Amino acid sequence: MTPEEIKIKDKDIHAFLEVFDDAKSYGNGILSGKKISIKDNMLFSSHKASAGSKMLENFTAPYDATVVKKIKEAGVIIVGRTNMDEFAMGSSTENSAYGVTKNPHDVGRVAGGTSGGAAASVASGMCDMALGSDTGGSIRQPAAFCGVVGLKPTYGRVSRNGLISYVSSFDQIGTVTKTVSDAELLYNVIKGQDPLDSTTISDDTYKPSRKFLKVIGIPKKFVESEGISDEVRNNFAEAVEKFKSLGYKIKEVELPNLKYALPVYYIIAPAEASSNLARFDGVKYGLHKEGIDGIDDYFETRGAGFGREVRRRIILGTYVLSSGYYDEYYGKAVAARRLITAELRSLFEEVDMMLTPTTPSPAWKVGEKSKSPLEMYLEDIFTVHANISGCPAISLPSGLAGKLPLGIELTADLGREDNLFAAGKDFMGE
């Protein structure tokens, strides 16, 4: 598609915040000629990066994020920047300051979030692949809603240099593609150590603890918890049977601490967000509003620049870090995070992967859950464990509920993206 054709097709979907008229191929390479979109929280030199917020509405990136530099070297055509929940806070791309991204399969429903624009751009055929970021399921959940493949790599496998931060210990750049093979291809381009990101790791950081034996663990009690739609339950059962038919051994496993992953996430994430977003003070860059004095400038700027959900999470994060509550909330959440991580790492000594649905329900109608933040947070129940533990996870298209896509999620041990790609290609018939 030409930029003009993309703009016409995107009118009803709003996957893009900007389609680049100067889109061009960056030469020959492993991704030569592939059209790719980048999420609006990644820096692309001389182009805007707003993180879906009025706070950075006119911010122009002074340099390329490491992942952008790598895909350019691989020969891609960057077609535009995609819509997202403001500062990557949300599960539906309804929290963008620039409008809602619609699901290409039903424009009356959400595309998921926070990488809803990325998933919609690929699912609608406006580009071949996309870069998104995943903090609690922000690639995998919209991938499931839009019927595409979403990969969240091991924490540290992909540089975060040039990514606008939300939760530094959870954030991970990943891929949205139509096939598992393309996910593997793009992942191999963007991974690797980076001197500009001290958290990045090399390929041999995690030595394989076991050979790939086609053993999948299912936390049955967790999967059968309340709030899971019948369509998702039935589709998951069908996916289990399909893996069995492909020669995989299915093993029921017990993960008693997995149920605490969601509350742990929603304590640690707002805490880190309140710290990370303190830099947006109306002084150095971004929005600036005049007040009666310096302190008033700060309040006026942040009040005007941040949307409702971002303000909610900053307030919550400040509260759990405050004197008298730090140990009661944040300290306990960090301790629980260690327990959940240890439990998962132990599980992967006996199975290759864990299988769950990606989401508890198909995509909901636009506006249906906007007035209930808690109900929206519960949509992340199957995805946050991978960010808490740092483990890699992939969402695969697994069927339909009517015309709405559904997805299943595979989670593997640290550094074992190879297991995800092998099982994913088997499942997808690639």
For 334-350, what is each residue's pLDDT tens digit? Answer: 999 999 999 999 999 99
Counting DSSP H helices and E strands in the chain, the numbers are 14, 13
Question: What is the pLDDT confidence band of residue 210, given thresholds at 50, 70 and 90?
Answer: confident
CA–CA gap between residue 159 and residue 182 (Å, rounded)? 19
Question: 278, 311 in Cβ contact below 8 A?
Answer: no
Q: What is the CATH number of the domain that holds 196?
A: 3.90.1300.10
- The pTM for the full model equals 0.96
For 50-81, what is each residue's pLDDT tens digit? Answer: 999 999 999 999 999 999 999 999 999 999 99
Q: What total number of domains does the chain contain?
A: 1
Can you give the residue range of the structural domain that contains 195? 1-430
pLDDT at 238: 98
For 84-127, what is each residue's pLDDT tens digit? Answer: 999 999 999 999 999 999 999 999 999 999 999 999 999 999 99
Question: 177, 18 in Cβ contact below 8 A?
Answer: no
Q: What number is the average pLDDT over the span 178-200?
A: 98
pLDDT at 209: 75
pLDDT at 320: 95
Query: Any idea what the Cα angle at residue 43 is, between residues 311 and 83, rounded to 5°?
Result: 55
**Could you write out the DSSP letters of every residue in 369-423?**
STT-HHHHHGGGTTTHHHHHH---EEEEEEEEETTEEEEEEEEE-TT-HHHHHHH
Task: Please check the confidence at residue 289 and state whether its pLDDT lies above 80.
Answer: yes
Q: What phi and psi, each to the nearest 5 degrees, are found at residue 161? A: -60, 125
